[in-house]
Amino acid sequence: MKLIKVNKKDALAFSAIILSILICSIIQMNLFWDKDLVLTGDDIGFHLNRVFGLAEAIKTSHYPFYIDSTFLNGYGYAANWFYPNLFLFPMAILLNLGYSLVVSYKTYIIIYTIATACVTYYCTYKMSKKVTSSSFMTILYVFSLYRAFDVYQRAALGESLAFIFLPVILYGIYEILYGQKKKWYILTIGFTGIIYTHVLSSVLAFCMLLLFLLLSIHRLREDKTKIIYFVVAGGVTILLSAFFIFPMVEQMASNTFYLNTYTLTTPSNTTYSLGTLWRSITLYYKDSSIIGLGYVLFLPLIYRFKIKKKNTIINFADKCLLIAMIFLLMTTNYFPWQHFHTLDVIQFTFRLFALVTLLMAFSCSIYVGYSVKKKYHSIGLLFIVLSLSISNASTIAQYYKDFRIHDKNQFRGEQTFKDSYNIGAGSEYLPSVTKIDVLKSRKKDEVKTKNRTTKLSHIVKDGNELYIHFDAKNKDILELPMIYYKGYEVKINNKIVPIKMSNNGLIEVPIQGKGKMEISYPGTGIQKFSFYTSITTFILLMIFILLRSIIRNKEQQHSGDSIMKYA
């Protein structure tokens, strides 16, 4: 197999950028938090509970799991059906190793920040073939103001992790449209990764893909096989993501949830006026911090005017810029959101800033890379951009600290977070009839009977398993301390019996006479099928990529030998 030669100067530049990212990430974190303190963001409670559930599942060897019994005081919450936990493993492992919540959380942020930087640099370098463009893209993207909002103010862990895979999706689109279309699997890897981190981001990324296809109709007409490769990439993505997608669809078809009946907000209610959007870019804040983009992302655009001749990468960068402007317009009240109700699921228009950040950072990095020729000029610009990015972060960090300093959920030192009822503002993944106040009024393992003469004993609850001995002289119905989700199984005297959902959204079981009841969650056939589907597809894809790499290396070696022979 042919060895890949690495340019020492390129490797040195990459190492310098990653080291700078590491140092500046720590500086940025200290701007938001004191050394031994974490101030809670909007969604941190929900995500920490997810991590605690995963840590417990790893500790007890119960992975994969769908219903997290650490939520709702043991009643269980099926967040994993709708919010994947695959990339939460590093923090869960750190907690299981005995590190404090503060240390584990901060370390995890550094880990996925470095991962974002490495992936961004690699993808940009593969497209641009320029160290300058790759370096600019990495700094603009990783230290973008919106990413800082996501990581610290919003504590949007899923969306923050999605930043890792957005550059991969962009690279995959570029390869099929402009590069080697047979590298369709890059797009597959990008979309699979983002689906397993944050589903809403995958929806937005798909919208971005559609706009690229719309603006590239002429290329697709010239080579219709490109369409086939996009379809293949999509099909394999579905198979790789089956472990998450199929069970989610099954659950949504089996019941009605808050996400179906309750809307926290819609994009039409969260649009920006042009004035607000301008303030979010210029950082002109008065009384409150506006979630925005910052001006650093736009400054390098001036280098576009220095480029006179177009090539493939410049053409792609121009399309990125155009699509970024479309998404920017969509965040304003000038966009007719009332005609796009299918996108109401994204809730906040500022989620589009993630795509604007990606596309603007890429466009600007390409323009700078193809305009600036002198090395010292490039290094100077990198230093200016990095300094301004840290300065912008400092501006919003002060507001954030003033706003959060009295938050009761902040934690420091060896303190931990304890609020099992923190399941997100919209409680999206609860059955729609469930009332959290009712759950809070009950004890952790309380089993309700309708008939007072019914006697219960030997009640033992362990996670998603429950054991009860009962003696019901008359027909009765037990309401169990478990949220109803499809896949639970109840046995009475070793025989499976039908179950229903109570008016409170809990599991309800009819009983009569004496017996022993066992409740467990073995899952459904679709859940098991989807798991093996994803694993099998992953193995086959890895074999395909490996074989393709071996064949290409042999072809290149044969070509090189032929040239030497006739030289």
The predicted structure's pLDDT at residue 6:
58
Q: Which domain holds residue 296?
A: 8-412
Q: Domain boundary residue among 485, 500, 520? A: 520
Give the contacts of 501 (CB within 8 A, at least 6 positions apart): 255, 431, 433, 484, 507, 508
The predicted structure's pLDDT at residue 4:
45
Q: pTM of this prediction? A: 0.92
The predicted structure's pLDDT at residue 339:
84
CB 95 within 8 A of CB 405: no
Distance of CA 213 to the CA centre of its chain: 24
Tokens of 195: 């689906």
Q: Report the CATH number that the domain containing residue 506 is assigned in CATH.
A: 2.60.40
The predicted structure's pLDDT at residue 3:
42
The predicted structure's pLDDT at residue 129:
92
In a domain, 137, yes or no: yes
In a domain, 462, yes or no: yes
The predicted structure's pLDDT at residue 2:
43
Amino acid at position 172, single letter: G
Give the contacts of 132 (CB within 8 A, at least 6 positions apart): 365, 368, 369, 372, 378
In a domain, 566, yes or no: no
Low-confidence ranges of the chain (pLDDT < 70): 1-6, 285-289, 403-409, 558-567
395 and 453 housed in the same domain: no
Cα–Cα nearest to 157, from 92, 102, 85: 85
443 and 352 housed in the same domain: no
Residue 34 CB burial class (10 angstroms; 0-12, 13-18, ≥19): exposed
CB 215 within 8 A of CB 360: no
In a domain, 539, yes or no: no
In a domain, 346, yes or no: yes
In a domain, 561, yes or no: no
Q: Of all helices (H) and strands (E), which one includes residue 336?
A: none
C-alpha–C-alpha distance, residues 458 and 450, integer Å: 19
